Amino acid sequence: MAGQTTKKTGRANVYGVTNDQCVWGLAGVVKPIKCMNAFDCLGCAFDAKVRADFKEREQAATRSGSGGDLARQQLMINQRKCRHMLSGRVTYKLCGHGYNCLKCPYDQMLEDTAIQPRLNAPTCDNAAGFDVARDYYYHHGHTWARVEYGGRVRIGVDDFTARLLGPQDDIQMPRLGDTIQQGKTQASMVRSGHLAEPLGPIDGKVLAVNPKVTGKAAMANEDPYGDGWLMVIQPTNLRNNLKNLLFGTESLAWMDDESSRLTAMLTEETGYHLAATGGEFVHDIYGSVPDAKWHRLVEAFLV
């Protein structure tokens, strides 16, 4: 099984971004340092400190009459590359706001369009019949979290849940502005009167819910790591939350164990010998295994 791993530092692995350097360092304003806040510059304590230090120097230069040098430094910063170019998010863009992203309409445009992007299919590894998307974090309750540029987190259910419960009649999600907690109910999945409540992988406030899933619940079964995502949140405890999630090779090993546990449970309780065919399990285990009990599947794997 191919994969990758990371130390439990709490620093987020940002999906689709190969550069991990702070944009202030890349701009030459400070010494090189790794980004610790998933490129959420507006919510970054270090970013605020750099701005505060520069403001103090500006005030001191004004009092001493040496503002010319500082003005030239400010002009140099104003003419440098946009933070989105420095981090590799866009190919070319110069900053015209002194890295004051809060006042930049271009920055706001990018943030608004990032919530519901046109997603490319992630690269997946196969672990004992189930797909595991690379660079995704996994909760033991079989939900995933994908940290994206700007510190937002996209979440959904994994391939194990999608195949275990099969296509849903309805998926009920929280309202915009609601908060979810790691290890607590985040949504409700309904099929033929049965209910499952997958657990949230990350603490945060809901910024968006997926209209494709609210209009067609089965999308979460058909494409759980792509168009079947459930919601986007603004995390409130990201670094600590990540320490409790699985990533890289450890997520592959865990999924392999879960596959073995599922096979043993179904064999013992139903006498049905479930086996992956062609390297994958069927897309609807609950609907395909005679005498499979919904509540037993949910209690054993999703709570």
In a domain, 14, yes or no: no
Residue 70, amino acid: L
In a domain, 4, yes or no: no
* Token pair listed for 71: 């003005």
Query: How many percent of the chain have pLDDT more than 90?
Result: 50
In this structure, are 72 and 144 located in the same domain? Answer: no
pLDDT, tens digit (0-9, with 9 covering 90-100), for 143-168: 999 999 888 999 999 999 999 999 99
In this structure, are 161 and 42 located in the same domain? Answer: no
User: pLDDT tier at 233 (50, 70, 90 boundaries)?
Assistant: very high
Q: Is the pLDDT of residue 267 over 60?
A: yes
pLDDT of residue 71: 52
From 114, 146, 163, the end of a domain falls on 114
In this structure, are 88 and 158 located in the same domain? Answer: no
* Token pair listed for 56: 């103090």
In a domain, 110, yes or no: yes
In this structure, are 59 and 105 located in the same domain? Answer: yes
Q: Is the pLDDT of residue 251 over 60?
A: yes
In a domain, 2, yes or no: no
Which CATH number belongs to the domain containing residue 297 in this structure?
Answer: 2.40.50.100
Mean pLDDT of 113-122: 66
In a domain, 7, yes or no: no
Domain that holds residue 41: 23-114
pLDDT of residue 11: 73
Q: Which region among 12-16, 57-61, 164-168 has the lowest average model confidence (pLDDT)?
A: 57-61
In this structure, are 57 and 199 located in the same domain? Answer: no
In this structure, are 140 and 237 located in the same domain? Answer: yes
In this structure, are 236 and 253 located in the same domain? Answer: yes
CA 227 to CA 187: how far, in whole Å? Answer: 17
In this structure, are 76 and 145 located in the same domain? Answer: no
Please state the pTM of the whole predicted model.
0.81
Q: Is the pLDDT of residue 200 over 80?
A: yes
CA 234 to CA 31: how far, in whole Å? Answer: 29
pLDDT of residue 75: 44
In this structure, are 159 and 249 located in the same domain? Answer: yes
Average pLDDT of the chain to the nearest whole number:
84
User: What domain count does the chain have?
Assistant: 2
pLDDT of residue 116: 61
In a domain, 3, yes or no: no
**125 within 8 A of 132, measured Cβ to Cβ:** yes
List the one residue out of 148, 125, 81, 156 whose CA is nearest residue 251.
125
In this structure, are 231 and 254 located in the same domain? Answer: yes
CA 79 to CA 98: how far, in whole Å? Answer: 8
DSSP 6: -
Q: Is the pLDDT of residue 290 over 90?
A: no
In this structure, are 42 and 74 located in the same domain? Answer: yes
In this structure, are 193 and 252 located in the same domain? Answer: yes
Q: Is the pLDDT of residue 216 over 60?
A: yes
Mean pLDDT of 212-236: 93
Cα 90-245-199 angle, rounded to 5 deg: 100
pLDDT of residue 70: 53
